[in-house]
Structure 1
Amino acid sequence: MPGDRIIFGAAAIPEPDRDWLAAVERLPVESIWQGGHVLPPGPTGEAITRLALMTAWTERVRVGAAVLLLPLYPPVVVAKQLADLDSRSGGRLTVGVGVGGEFRHEFDAVGVPLAERGPRTDEAMWILRTLWGGGPASHHGAFFSFEDVELRPVCPPAEPGPRMRPGGPPLVVSGRRERAMRRAAHLGDGWLPYLVSPEAYARSVRTIEEEAGAAGRDLAGFEWMMYLYCSIRRDGDRARDDVARFLGSAYGDKPRDMLDRIAPAGTPDQVAARLQAYVDAGVRHFVISPAAHDDTLEVVRLAAEEVLPRLSVPASVG
């Protein structure tokens, strides 16, 4: 079952910025996240490039990919890149994994059939863990094969210095469908859905727990996370306008009542009430993604300083 501590992370929207990251590190925020596409429709960053910037420009927080579209990448190459980043950052990396698919041209351009993105992701997760396990490794799967290779993460020069954690960084699974829940239950170190209601999150918790139980897997240490688009302002109407402008057209001009179920907006009191419903459903680590085109630091600051203290784990858990 989910644990007894609630923590907040933040998404570096729209791009990682050194001053923004420094300001967020001074807040009660424990992680910072960014993802990215290989061939996005606009001039926005790619996930591993953004991770490199964020690990270099931060000192304290965990740094996460939300998300890395794993089927677009050769898994042996990405295993080395992520191992080096985890080592250089002192073991601060977490990798959110997704299958993508919204931009078919990305898959066509890298020679990956769209229909194979799920099984390729599963196999790639096994490969990452195999290579991060240390020592010579072999793998012969449906899509990838190698024999007796060894991945050696970069060793920072300082002694004693930071190193990649034994077994590599955690892999948390993103998505909304049951296939993603099954992937989290069997292969993931956590669950990181997005654009779901508290009721849908509670159903996902049950599905993952049932799937893991049937497989004989103990979910001790599993992270129950939520990537949450939201806006928090002193002026609640401004916050709701933020979300409508930021998400409405991008997700099919959804009506405001539907957006409110999946992307809370309002004053700190109003948003805290909405987030408490997610906590009751099982969320313990929120990644606050400002659904706003300006003043995103204010959204994160109000979340960390005024929303987080209002949340509490249900008394039956602990």
Structure 2
Amino acid sequence: MTMPVMEPNLDAATLKAWARAVDGGPFSSLCWGERMCFDNPHSLTLLGALAAWTDRVRLVTTVIVPQLHDPVMLAKALATGDVISGGRLTVGLGVGGRDEDYRAAGADPATQTMRGMAERVAVMKRVWAGEKVTDAVLPVGPPPVQHGGPQLLVGTIGPKTVRSAAAWAEGLAGTTLDLDAERENALFDVARTAWAEAGKPKPHLATSFWFALGDGDEPRDQVHRHLRRYMNWIPAEYVDAMAPTTGWAGTDDQLIDVLRRFEAIGADEVHLIPTSSNIDQVRHVADVITEFA
């Protein structure tokens, strides 16, 4: 389950209640994403809070854009989060799709590439391995609880990105807009092949989609409202055109059916992305998915 970090008017009580509800439910992971030019919480600050508010679920960034950060500072922050969470951190990384975020962070748009991301991953892995990245007396710490650092996933929807990430990632943190399981399975096959060719164990395969649960037209309307707000860098008429087929909206039984489709293609996880901060949604989903626990 993903935190409702892209919803308006969030406060500490709402975020804490969601974290506690997810940790107490049948969910395997608690996820959240990163943006700069938006009013979502700062991802690394939120990591510390989520680590303190939860005890069981894995904490998964979906995704952090390393090019928006100094890689040594990012490695230190993530290692700290791994320590506070007791080794429950998984780090999804992506290049990001918004130039405005790069400009706001003072980052170089020329680094908005897989190569730019891989270069920063290499620095972070050196930090987590305890290597000195400067001539300082001591290396940058703290050492992460997980040997070699947190599990790394690549956030992607394209095969080229998957192939290039096989050298450093342990799996995928993908996204499906139209819930086409066959197309997602084709991407999973690219990953399976790339990981095998790299001599690595089979990749962790995760995908995600926006959701709204309920009867009638309201769930689809809820997804539409969310997309209008979240995709504010895209002309509204384009968002309106894609909204009827983007994400998922439906009933309890229909949610089970769609999750079964992704289970059938070998997905290890589906990261559900809420389109409302109403905590009744996460409690409702928790009741629906108990058969997967």
Q: TM-score, normalised by structure 1?
A: 0.78
Instruction: Say whether the 8 Å CA contact 2:128–2:148 is kept in structure 1.
Output: yes
- The 3-state SS of whatever aligns with 2:206 is strand
Cα 1:232–1:117 change in 2 (3 A) is same
Instruction: Say whether the 8 Å CA contact 2:4–2:275 is kept in structure 1.
Output: no
CA-CA distance at 1:185 after TM superposition: 2.2
Taking the aligned partners of 2:227 and 2:107, their CA distance within structure 1 comes to 29
1:201 aligned partner: 184
2:54 aligned partner: 58
Q: What is the one-letter code of the residue matched to 2:193? A: E
Structure 1 segment 203-222 matched on structure 2, within 5 A: 203-215=186-198, 217-220=199-202, 222=203
1:157 aligned partner: none
1:265 aligned partner: 249
CA-CA distance at 1:256 after TM superposition: 5.1
Taking the aligned partners of 2:165 and 2:145, their CA distance within structure 1 comes to 23
Cα 1:17–1:248 change in 2 (3 A) is closer
CA RMSD of aligned residues (A): 2.4
Q: What is the one-letter code of the residue matched to 2:188? A: V
Structure 1 segment 164-243 matched on structure 2, within 5 A: 164-196=145-177, 197-215=180-198, 217-220=199-202, 222-233=203-214, 235-243=215-223
Could you tell me which runs of 5 or more consecutive residues in structure 2 were left unpaired when the two chains were aligned. Answer: none
Question: 1:113 is matched with which residue: 101, 108, 112?
Answer: 108
Could you tell me which runs of 5 or more consecutive residues in structure 1 were left unpaired when the two chains were aligned. Answer: 1-8, 139-145, 155-162, 313-318
Q: TM-score, normalised by structure 2?
A: 0.84
Taking the aligned partners of 1:274 and 1:71, their CA distance within structure 2 comes to 34
Taking the aligned partners of 2:282 and 2:164, their CA distance within structure 1 comes to 30
Number of residue pairs aligned between Structure 1 and Structure 2: 276
Taking the aligned partners of 1:27 and 1:189, their CA distance within structure 2 comes to 26
CA-CA distance at 1:255 after TM superposition: 4.2
Cα 1:256–1:81 change in 2 (3 A) is closer
1:287 aligns to 2:271 (yes or no): yes
1:69 aligned partner: 65
Q: What is the one-letter code of the residue matched to 1:253? A: D
Taking the aligned partners of 1:278 and 1:219, their CA distance within structure 2 comes to 21
Structure 1 segment 295-314 matched on structure 2, within 5 A: 295=278, 297-307=279-289, 309=291
Taking the aligned partners of 2:126 and 2:191, their CA distance within structure 1 comes to 23
Taking the aligned partners of 1:207 and 1:184, their CA distance within structure 2 comes to 11
2:241 aligned partner: 254
Cα 1:228–1:153 change in 2 (3 A) is same
Taking the aligned partners of 2:212 and 2:49, their CA distance within structure 1 comes to 25
**Percent of residue pairs identical:** 26
1:153 aligned partner: 142
Cα 1:69–1:265 change in 2 (3 A) is same
Instruction: Say whether the 8 Å CA contact 1:35–1:46 is kept in structure 2.
Output: no
CA-CA distance at 1:130 after TM superposition: 1.8
Cα 1:120–1:191 change in 2 (3 A) is same
> Any idea what the Cα deviations from partners look like across 1:124-144, whole Å, max 9, x if unmatched?
11121221123x345xxxxxx
1:277 aligned partner: 261
